[in-house]
Amino acid sequence: MILSLVNVKGGVGKTTTAVNLGATLARSGLRVLIVDLDPQGSASFSLGITEKDARPSAADLLLGDRPIREVIRETGRPGLDLVTGSMELAEGDLTLARKRDPERQLARALAPVRRRYDFIIIDCPPGLSVLSLNGLAASKAYVVPVVPHDLDMEALNRFFGGMDRIQHAIHRHPPLLGILLTMVDHRTRVTDEVVAGIRAAFGRDVFRTEIPINVRLAEAPGYGKSIFDYQSWSKGAQAYAHLGGEVISRSTKAGLV
């Protein structure tokens, strides 16, 4: 199962979800690979990899044609491996555009190790650049994290309209696995109203699990740890544990695993 996390906006919890969803799946005994496609390398940093230690990275894989087995590294957590992000990915759009089928480079690169992992989770950068298109073209499904307290419902509808056009352009139609509500703060009336509106509009396409605003989730990346390594009893850890179960359930019911 290859799963991309996508949104045109930054700061919606894509990286937090990639790291902690990957961690909870690995804790359940599954083999998981996280692929960090963000030039800022935020997922890598969240797992304790600094910028100076990021090479070889996804840039070597996609732009330098380095074999995937030379780029994958262990994270020190059982069952959880990583392909790091790095600043070299900032050149990705220009370099990939010169390649044949530029949006298919990641799919080809991952092919030799697909059977090694139960889940491959791709942390796409904000926007729908060639890097994000590579994530989608390699995936069996995608997840859209959204923050409800500042969400414009029309913007979410525009996003899905854009996704339809992109899927047609890349000749791949990975289904939506779910919309994930992140940084949810039910202490405010506006959050309650927006959450209710999203659930009314998108129904079962919205995960039952909600990721709450949680200070421990914000602190953990600074220590290079997943929430389970940092504070496994926190509300954030409990939410991601529930999300892991829901992702497995949805993937199984959809015949994706």
Q: How far apart are CA 245 and CA 1, in angstroms?
A: 14
Q: Cβ of 74: how many Cβ atoms within 10 Å? A: 10
Whether the Cβ atoms of residue 5 and residue 131 lie closer than 8 Å to each other: no
Tokens at 4, concatenated:
């991309």
Residue with tokens 């045109």: 8
Whether the Cβ atoms of residue 138 and residue 145 lie closer than 8 Å to each other: no
Q: How far apart are CA 2 and CA 138, in angstroms?
A: 7
Q: Can you give the residue ranges of every domain in the chain?
A: 2-253
**Looking at residue 103, what DSSP letter applies?**
G
Task: For the chain, 257 residues long, give each residue's pLDDT as a single digit of tens.
Answer: 999 999 988 899 999 999 999 999 999 999 999 999 999 999 999 999 998 899 999 999 998 889 999 999 999 999 999 999 999 998 888 888 888 888 999 999 999 999 999 999 999 999 888 899 999 999 999 999 999 976 767 778 888 888 888 888 788 889 999 999 999 999 988 899 999 999 999 999 999 999 999 999 999 999 999 999 999 999 999 999 999 999 999 999 999 98
Q: How far apart are CA 2 and CA 51, in angstroms?
A: 25
Architecture per CATH, 2-253: 3-Layer(aba) Sandwich (3.40)
CA angle (176 as vertex; 23, 173 as ends), nearest 5: 115
